[in-house]
Chains A and B, each alone.
Chain A
Amino acid sequence: MVQDRDNSIVAEGLVREFKKGPRAVDGIDLRVDSGEIYGFLGPNGAGKSTTVLMLTTLLPPTAGTARVAGYDVVKEGPKVRKAIGAALQEAALDPLLTGREHLRLQMAMHGIGGEERKRRADELLERVGLTEAADRKVNGYSGGMKRRLDLALALVHRPRILFLDEPTTGLDPQSRAALWEEVGRLARQDGVTVFLTTQYLEEADVLADRVGIIDHGRIVAEGTPEQLKAEIGCSTVEALPATPEELGAVTTVLERFGTRTTGFSPGTVAVQLATSDGNLADIVRALDAEDLRLAHLQIHEPTLDDVFLAKTGRHLEGAGEEEAEVEPEPAPATA
């Protein structure tokens, strides 16, 4: 086992099986280093939230081990909880309490009292932009405001590790960008380790230092976004001939530079390039030499969806909707 550091997350063979259900998590090995932002990317029902529930001690694993902040999630639950903050999939707020009252309650539970409580509440409210709305009841908050309050509550006790379960689902682009900025700041300036689950490619691409792609309860790919995309291969060129009659000729020229691929706009030809350098100029020269004109030429860089497609045979976006099962909820109390 690799030596653990204080703000790290290490899981080995993590499994969660539900009664009368599938294995929601089917043997996950992962490691998140201190101060890293780890993006856990997958479609609905892949096992992301179940993994988070296990790592945050809210669900015991069926098998395997996990250590968060150096503590075993099963045997040392209270120590884990002291070191982590979590904003789970539901905002989990009391609509009848104000934002400030939520913070007060959360801090009371963590034993933060007196002047420190007031100072910390003001600091957090300002940080998430809720100072003006602090004394309004949460049932009057927008979705973005609720998510920001959720984040503030997760930070009251200055956790070393932060778990964010789909934190920007349902948010407008502005709120999303604000949340990204705050998460990035936490990691870079405060050294907080962030474990972030998401179904949005862009979020993982922009925010995460490393990404783990999960499907059907297993990690199918892991690495930095650039490494993962590089595994897939080079860019794809998409060309729309100036006249439909030239489609064949354009195709012949482009196929000298790579392999024909499909799935792009009708009337265009797309070719995945064989190498990654200097092809665009050569392509243009080759087309010009044949006196072929284009109405449109576009280069597509590989995306994490391409990575998911290569590993699973399905696109990430829409993969969750294709699944018959949704992500199982934690086992209810037995009857």
Chain B
Amino acid sequence: MNVSDSLAVARGVAWRQLHNAVLNPTIFFPSLAFPLLNFAAFAGGLSRVSEVPGFNFAGSYTAFQFVFVLLQSAAFSGVFSGFGVARDFETGFTRRLMLTAPNRSGIVLGYAIASACRWLITAAVITAVAFAVGMQVGGDGVDLFGLYALALLVNFAGTLWSTGVAMRIRSQQAGPVMQMPVFLILFFAPVYVPLDLLQGWIHAVASVNPLTPVMEAARGLVSGEPTKTLVAFGTGVALVLAFSSWAIRGLRRAEAVGG
């Protein structure tokens, strides 16, 4: 594989995605609105949940929910990027990219880079809102860097998952197929309370959910009491690798049918 070709293609694809986002800022609205809404509803409405006996978290409930919202925004930014890929198939633009690109895996890389850049803007807004409402952070600079790095891995995983779906279905009807699994993985994690306070079937599901260690590690980083950090990064990297393969194989399928 020619790496420089791949990077050139990736730069071009990423530029186009970001250029369109700048010209059409409303594109940020969905990926901002729902996380902020959840933040308001959960951190604002459910703050008393932190008084439940056994709720062990070093930070405030606001910080507890901030982590979920950050990861949710990362995952859904990836999904919304997938919508764009599906739309490109419907309009025929992907065919143009495939005709032009000397190394087509760069197309996938480009979509992922653009998604990450867009998410960083979303993350900045969400973080600013969280601090504006008085979120207290126990972690230091390294911890917070680790938090955003984890979230970035989740964003890449979400983008690659939905890109792979888009490459296979090649129409905007892929939307629900992209969204639903991501939604389920997010909400079948310890969203409202720590894992220890979940009971019954939800505890069983959350225990095997790959996002659970990521969420717990992220909460540890924000509260200044890191926990399961290596496991979380390992899980994040594994998800990215797995979904990279998923996306590239999807690209090959799309190539086989002429885009």
A touches B (Cβ under 8 A): no
Give the A-binding residues of B (Cβ under 8 A).
Answer: none
